[in-house]
Amino acid sequence: MTQPTRTAPVVRQAVVLSPMQVPKASDVLASELRERILRGEFPEGSALPPERELVTQTAMSRTTVREALRILEVQGLVRIKTGRAGGAFVTRPGQESVASSVNLLIRGGHLRMSALLETREGIEPVCARLAAVHRDDEDLERLEQANDAISVDTGSLADFLQANVDWHIAVAVASHNELLTGFMLALSRAIYAATDNQRFIDADVRRTAVKAHKTITQAIRDRDPEAAVRRMNRHVHGYAEAVKAVEDRVEIEVPDSPPAPRQARRRAPARSTAARTTRGSGGA
């Protein structure tokens, strides 16, 4: 029995309530639209109702509606065009959106270079295997074209690295697996960005890379998955080892400079991968 005293200590029934969250209006609308889009209710390329129309339909303010559309845009579900006949056009989220989020994870997480390389060592052989299985003639052409570009001895370091990335991405594309492609896209770019100032890329390294690429391409052409895996494994592993060796040396040379200049240099090559993150059309 509870104590029969006056002002009995209130026996609080432990009403277990989880924190509870009140979703924002724009989130609600965004979720609703997202579900409908994913459900295929709007065919790809079709336009959502104009903002002002959504306002009347949803009884929300234009601010809210716009915010919702903005969310969907960032998630890569719609592309917004201005002008007459503009509006929010449904679009399939592609590799780019995966790539950009992986990119954020890499850059924001302060991931060690070794983690990147380790991941690539794991994934790229898989890409090579699938490429050997699924490749078509177009893929082959891309591979050869990229490797031709690498072979040019006269190119600058940036050119070499770019062509190198292109080849690796071509392998991923040849796998005909969008998930892996998106992943490799971000990974390659990140490794590229982190490597561009390493001096260890000399003519010798280039030749080795070109040769490795050739044999891997050949395996892919021959539809020989096992060979592709094996060779890619060796190639990527060798690269990782080389980088690791240099990293150790560099770690000692460069004390610790303030972060700012490191960033400034990074956007040098061509398109800054970061600014274009929410917009469409990347580079593959």
Partner DNA sequence: GGTGGCCATTCGGTCTGACCTTTGGTAACT
Partner DNA sequence: AGTTACCAAAGGTCAGACCGAATGGCCACC
60 binds, among DNA, a copy of itself, none (CB under 5 to 8 A by kind): DNA
> Of these, 65, 180, 210, 232, which contacts a copy of itself (CB under 8 A)?
180
Please report, for residues 17, 21, 31, 60, the alpha-carbon distance to residue 24 in angstroms, rounded to integers and kept in the order given: 20, 9, 11, 12
Q: Residue 174 in contact with residue 128, Cβ under 8 Å?
A: no
Name which of residues 232 to 271 contact a copy of itself (CB under 8 A): 259-260, 263-264
> Which of 1-9, 101-109, 219-227, 241-249 is the region at the interface with a copy of itself (rule: CB under 8 A)?
101-109
Q: Which is nearer to a copy of itself, 42 or 160 (CB)?
A: 42
Q: Which is nearer to DNA, 52 or 244 (CB)?
A: 52
Should residue 210 be labelled a site residue for a copy of itself when binding is judged by CB under 8 A?
no
Tell the burial category of 225 from Cβ atoms under 10 Å away from its Cβ (0-12, 13-18, 19+): middle
> Of these, 61, 122, 158, 265, which contacts a copy of itself (CB under 8 A)?
122
Q: Which is nearer to DNA, 208 or 277 (CB)?
A: 277
**Which residues here bind DNA, judged by CB under 7 A?**
7, 22, 24-26, 50-52, 59-64, 66-67, 69, 80-88
Smallest gap, in angstroms, from Cβ of residue 108 to a copy of itself? 5
Residue ranges in contact with a copy of itself by CB under 8 A: 21, 23, 26-27, 30-31, 34-35, 37-40, 63, 66-67, 70-71, 74-77, 92-95, 97-98, 100-102, 104-111, 115-116, 118-119, 122-123, 126-127, 129-130, 177-180, 182-183, 187, 259-260, 263-264, 272, 274-275, 277-279
